[in-house]
Amino acid sequence: QQKVQQSPESLSVPEGGMASLNCTSSDRNFQYFWWYRQHSGEGPKALMSIFSDGDKKEGRFTAHLNKASLHVSLHIRDSQPSDSALYFCAAASSGSWQLIFGSGTQLTVMP
Partner 1 sequence: GGIITQTPKFLIGQEGQKLTLKCQQNFNHDTMYWYRQDSGKGLRLIYYSITENDLQKGDLSEGYDASREKKSSFSLTVTSAQKNEMAVFLCASSIPDRGYEQYFGPGTRLTVL
Indicate the residue among 20 and 96 with the shorter CB distance to partner 1: 96
| DSSP calls for 19-50 | EEEEEEES-TTEEEEEEEEE-TTS--EEEEEE
Is residue 61 within the footprint of partner 1 (CB under 8 A)? no
Site track for partner 1 across 41-60, x = CB under 8 A: xxxxxx--x-x---------
The angle subtended at Cα 14 by Cα 72 and Cα 18, nearest 5°, is 30
Between CA 45 and CA 56 the distance in angstroms is: 18
Is residue 23 within the footprint of partner 1 (CB under 8 A)? no
Q: In whole angstroms, how close is the CB of 77 to partner 1 at the nearest point?
A: 24
Is residue 11 within the footprint of partner 1 (CB under 8 A)? no
Segment near partner 1 (CB under 8 A); pick from 12-20, 57-65, 76-84, 102-110: 102-110
Count H helices and E strands in the chain, helices first: 0, 11
Is residue 79 within the footprint of partner 1 (CB under 8 A)? no
